[in-house]
Amino acid sequence: MSFENKVVIVTGAAVGIGKATAIAFAEKGAKVVVADIDIKKGKQTISLIGGDAFFIEINVANSESVKNVVKDVMNRFGRIDILVNNAGIYYQGDVIETPEEEWDKVIAVNLKGMYLCSHYVIPIMLKGNGGVVVNVASEAGLVGIAGQVAYNVSKAGVISLTKSMAVDFARKGVRVNAVCPGTTETPLVKNALKRSKDPEKERRKLEECRPLNRLGRPEEIAAAILAMASDNLGYATGSVFSIDGGYTAK
Ligand SMILES: NC(=O)c1ccc[n+]([C@@H]2O[C@H](COP(=O)([O-])OP(=O)(O)OC[C@H]3O[C@@H](n4cnc5c(N)ncnc54)[C@H](O)[C@@H]3O)[C@@H](O)[C@H]2O)c1
């Protein structure tokens, strides 16, 4: 699998799954754009990658910000081959516990953010040599996980966005796929565990509920994202790939 000279934007690449993905693409020869709202950690990711990679601040929920980022990337590289819509946030709460502003925030970042980035990047792919979009959904988009309704709904939306864009652009040279990770060891999960009454017990519960009896590693999810973006899987579009330790197979 080579991504030599491909220009890849990874949103939310300062930490976690996005960071592992940016590093993995760079190792395979890609020119990587680390796009994140967190400037300090985003620049740290760049210092690990080096080469042609560069950091750019983005708020995926803000259309002006997304538009400017796409413009900057085009000024720098003149093309965009792969978009990884990865940036996401989490909120814990059922439908009664979730305040309206938290609902709006989760939907704005997790779902509207992927729409906005696709809205501005896909036209560039269509004018160029085509491209691939990989959306990071979740096991939570496939089943109703208790106590995180806004997050679940945002990720179910991402799966629909993936399939909708896949059929719209299949004959125009743009493939769109989704990966659905299970619980993976990232700052998002570590922070959620820290907020629980007994983090160790909660962690064991998250491990034991899946057949493989462990959490995922960011590098494992990155490997799935690269596979979905690669020409080796050129027949895959609208595909939704679960990588969750068997959680949704039960
Ligand atoms: N970790 C898991 O268990 C898990 C499981 C399934 C799906 N996911 C999904 O994978 C993706 C990455 O998750 P993670 O666990 O690495 O999360 P994380 O919190 O560790 O990292 C998320 C990154 O997104 C960035 N970000 C947040 N809001 C942003 C915004 N408005 N604009 C730009 N960047 C923003 C953060 O600064 C951070 O760098 C998310 O979409 C998440 O929902 C994670």
Here the contacts of 188-194 (C-beta below 8 Å, separation 24 or greater) are 188/16, 188/88, 188/89, 188/90, 189/215, 192/90, 192/92
CATH code, residues 7-249: 3.40.50.720
Query: Is pLDDT of 51 > 90?
Result: no
pLDDT band at 57 (very low <50, low <70, confident <90, very high): very high
| Shortest-distance Cα residue to atom 1 of ligand 1 | 184
87 lines ligand 1 (CB under 6 A): yes
pLDDT per residue over 189-205, tens digit each? 999 999 999 999 999 99
State the pairing for strand pair 240-243/131-136: unpaired
Rounded distance between C-alpha atoms, residue 20 and residue 14, angstroms: 9
Q: Is 225 helix (H, G, I), strand (E, B) or coil?
A: helix
pLDDT of residue 80: 98
Q: Which of 186, 202, 209, 217 to mutate to test the pocket of ligand 1 (most atoms within 8 A of CB)?
A: 186
Look up residue 107 and give its amino acid: I
pLDDT value at residue 123: 98
DSSP state at residue 79: -
Helix (H, G, I), strand (E, B) or coil at 84: strand
74-90 confidence digits (pLDDT tens): 999 999 999 999 999 99
| Helix residue ranges, H only, the chain | 16-27, 39-49, 63-77, 100-107, 113-127, 149-169, 187-194, 199-208, 218-229
Rounded to whole angstroms, how far apart are CA atoms 30 and 205? Answer: 38
What 8-state DSSP symbol labels residue 216? Answer: B
Determine what percent of the chain is predicted with pLDDT higher than 90. Answer: 98
- Integer Cα distance of 176 and 161 in angstroms: 9
Q: What is the mean pLDDT of the chain?
A: 97
pLDDT for residue 134 is more than 90: yes
Tell whether the model's pLDDT for residue 120 goes beyond 90: yes
Q: C-alpha 121: how far from its chain's center?
A: 15
Look-up of token digits 């629909």: 160
pLDDT per position as a tens digit, 12-27: 999 999 999 999 999 9
* Any atom of ligand 1 within 6 Å of the Cβ of 141: no
**Cα first-last separation, the chain:** 31
Give me the pLDDT at residue 10, please: 98
pTM check: above 0.95: yes
Q: Choose one of 64, 188, 210 to mutate for the ligand 1 pocket test, by most ligand atoms within 8 angstroms of C-beta.
A: 188
**Tokens representing 141?**
């988009």
Domain segments of the chain as ranges? 7-249
- pLDDT over 70 for what percent of the chain? 100
pLDDT at 50: 80
pLDDT band at 1 (very low <50, low <70, confident <90, very high): confident
